[in-house]
Structure 1
Amino acid sequence: MQSSVDGGFGRRNLRQRLSGANTFWIALVLLALIVVFTVLAPGQFATLFTFQTLLIETSVLLVLSVGMTFVIITAGIDLSVGSVLIFSGMVCGKTMEWLAGGNASSAGWGVIAVGLVAAVVSGTLWGLLNGFLIARAKIPPLIVTLGTMGAALGAAYLLNNGSDVRSVPIVLNKTLGYGTSFGGVPNLVIVAVVITLVGAWLLHTTKFGRYTFAVGSSAEAARRAGIGVTAHLLKVYLLTGFLAGVAGFLSLSYYASTTITAHTTDNLNAIAATVMGGTSLFGGIGTVLGTVIGVFIPAVLKKGFNITHVPDFWQMIAVGAVLIAAVWFDQRRRRARDSH
């Protein structure tokens, strides 16, 4: 009899934990969207090609959003990631052009490797600048990253006189951009999944992740507990810049161009995906899994609306409604927690 009671109590606790988890509810929203579009267009939406396309189109944004998850959990924000992505891609493209003598189309993996390093280093340096100004100079993250957003975009334009770099190694585009492996899984998706898994491991199982949650919950309490808050914030923004650099390289490999105009709203998309996935704008709460789900909600809406011939502006309205609902849910949960 006792074991039965304990078992029922355990099941109730599990149900309570699931029903109270923001990730659980946002996953239900994503599942509902998939079901609705499958019913509306069964022969078009629920296909292997559609889901492969969804995965490819969200890969770059997912890499950006993993970094954004760490930043927002610390109660910060980074408006510069989209511009840093563009700048890193531009540095990568120009570096490969220079090494290949003006035309990188036929360049090999040696040139590509140097281009990757250039992209990652340039992104990391912007992250270092953000981290220094926020953690050391104590300037609010919103102001710092708003400034570096414009500065990085302007620097990207200056590097190539305001135009895109379109000379990209063909082997890079074919192998990483459009290549597949492991039974047809796009290589771009594999890279994004690996980065996401590493990010999840870093956030949820390491001291770095615990410090990130502690700083976001209360920076002063974390400081009194012996955590170097300044140094940790510097590392978090450094990580975000690093991932923006990687995303710039991935974007270049997929589009075979820097595609500046395609990334001007990536910062807002990354913030929206992270918040929709349950990461609290007030800090201290968030999961990488939630961010993954948050990334796919706008992508599924866009794909579903395109297939069912619904005008694009309805997607903007729907994403805005889901984002507001996610923030409202977060505030409600926080007030309920503080009242106990």
Structure 2
Amino acid sequence: MIKSILNNTSPISEPDESAPGILSRFATGQLTWITLILIAMIACFTVLAGQSFASVANFRNIATDACILMVMALGQLFVIITGGIDLSVGAVLVFSGVLGCLVMNSVGGTAGIICGIAVSIVSGAAWGAVNGLLVTRAKVSPLIATLGSFGMAMGLALVIANGIDLMAPLPLVRSLGVGRLFGVLPWLVVLAGLTAVVMAIILNQTRFGRHTLAIGASAAAAERAGISVNRHLVKVYMIAGALAGMASVMSLSRFGTTTIGGHLEDNLKVITAVVLGGASLLGGIGTVTGTVIGTLIPVVLLNGFVITGIQAFWQQFAIGLVLVIAVYLDGRKRNFAG
């Protein structure tokens, strides 16, 4: 199985006779049904709300609302594929945003914004490295290690910011936050889309991606195949942290402040998106396309509920139900494959 993964250069979402047939068919099948769910939701809300929902402006809002979580979910995808989990991404976003915002306001001008962006991404990657070292060197379970990091990152962010939200520079908000490519497509959506393309290439077409999948399938077998599992896991957690840092810059530009209290549930939201997208919590399975769709489903659902006048609380119930079904099917598939 590991040899098949290492030698495979085709996208994991496509069935391959050299790959485990059951797992490949399940990955493709789950991607199909979540795509159909998304299409059905859009069609349903279009019938119920007409142009209030099915308008270019509203679809633009949906894409913009989803892009920050999407970037974080792409990092979480790699962690979950390895069989791990990262509960710290929301707090890392806040911490990176606070540091980046301080640098932007202290330095000032375009140089300050550039330096602040770099600080946000680097500080996020640093937290990811800490998570990776706790998991690989200290042998702390990913759940406990990243839960501890969540508390530390959020606590430090509150201390540094004195418990209040910091204002982002107006040029950042005007350019990245509300700016549009050719006056049509928001730059935030463009950035999220480019990130998704890059992560898809890494996962499907590079040795790093094949090693990530191999570790998720069996870390012991991957080690015997010559992969430095511990080193690779640290890199995976660093990627997740760096993308949380990038998401912090997007959040700053979108909302104009650090929104410290607005990201407490981001970790659960991105895990939900990844699992809805067909990734297995046991590792070894996951696609970028599925994660993108998994991110869009709750955003479309909430948007449609608001427009049609349905209480938004039902969104949590609906997403929870779909999530439980997805995890149940994953367990059944694993038992059947075993």
TM-score past 0.5 threshold: yes
Contact 2:278 2:326 in 1 (8 A): yes
1:127 equivalent to 2:128? Answer yes
Counterpart for residue 149 of structure 1: 150
1:136 equivalent to 2:144? Answer no
* Equivalent position amino acid for 2:124 in 1: G
The CA deviation string for residues 94-128 of structure 1, in whole angstroms up to 9 with x for no partner, is 1122223xxxxxxx211100100110111011001
Moved over 6 A (4+): none
Counterpart for residue 81 of structure 1: 89
Q: Give runs of aligned pairs for residues 7-22 of structure 1, distance below 5 A.
A: 17=25, 21-22=29-30
Counterpart for residue 160 of structure 1: 161
* Equivalent position amino acid for 1:266 in 2: D
The CA deviation string for residues 261-300 of structure 1, in whole angstroms up to 9 with x for no partner, is 1111111100000000000000000000000000001001
1:44 equivalent to 2:52? Answer yes
| In 1: Cα distance, 2:129 partner to 2:193 partner | 25
Counterpart for residue 197 of structure 2: 197
| In 2: Cα distance, 1:208 partner to 1:260 partner | 33
After TM superposition, the structure 1 stretch with the greater mean CA deviation from structure 2, 177-186 or 154-163, is 177-186
Structure of higher CA gyration radius: 1
* Equivalent position amino acid for 2:246 in 1: V
The CA deviation string for residues 54-107 of structure 1, in whole angstroms up to 9 with x for no partner, is 01111110000000000000000000000000000000111122223xxxxxxx
The alignment yields a C-alpha RMSD, in angstroms, of 1.4
Counterpart for residue 220 of structure 1: 220
Counterpart for residue 301 of structure 2: 301
Counterpart for residue 70 of structure 2: 62
CA-CA distance at 1:182 after TM superposition: 3.4
1:35 equivalent to 2:36? Answer no
Q: List runs of 5+ in structure 2 lacking aligned partners.
A: 1-20
After TM superposition, the structure 1 stretch with the greater mean CA deviation from structure 2, 178-187 or 73-82, is 178-187
Counterpart for residue 110 of structure 2: 109
SS in 1 for 2:50: coil
TM-score (structure 1 length as normaliser): 0.91
| In 1: Cα distance, 2:320 partner to 2:249 partner | 29
Inter-CA distance 231–293: structure 2 relative to 1 (3 Å threshold): same
The CA deviation string for residues 216-249 of structure 1, in whole angstroms up to 9 with x for no partner, is 1110011111111001101100111111111111
SS in 2 for 1:43: helix
Contact 1:19 1:25 in 2 (8 A): no
SS in 2 for 1:257: coil
Contact 1:202 1:208 in 2 (8 A): yes
Aligned residues: 316
Q: Give runs of aligned pairs for residues 304-319 of structure 1, distance below 5 A.
A: 304-319=304-319
SS in 1 for 2:52: coil
| In 2: Cα distance, 1:159 partner to 1:61 partner | 24
Q: List runs of 5+ in structure 1 lacking aligned partners.
A: 1-12, 101-107
Contact 1:88 1:118 in 2 (8 A): yes
| In 2: Cα distance, 1:95 partner to 1:18 partner | 47
Inter-CA distance 242–138: structure 2 relative to 1 (3 Å threshold): same
After TM superposition, the structure 1 stretch with the greater mean CA deviation from structure 2, 234-243 or 91-100, is 91-100
* Equivalent position amino acid for 1:133 in 2: L
Alignment match of 1:93 (pick from 98, 101, 106) = 101
Counterpart for residue 266 of structure 2: 266
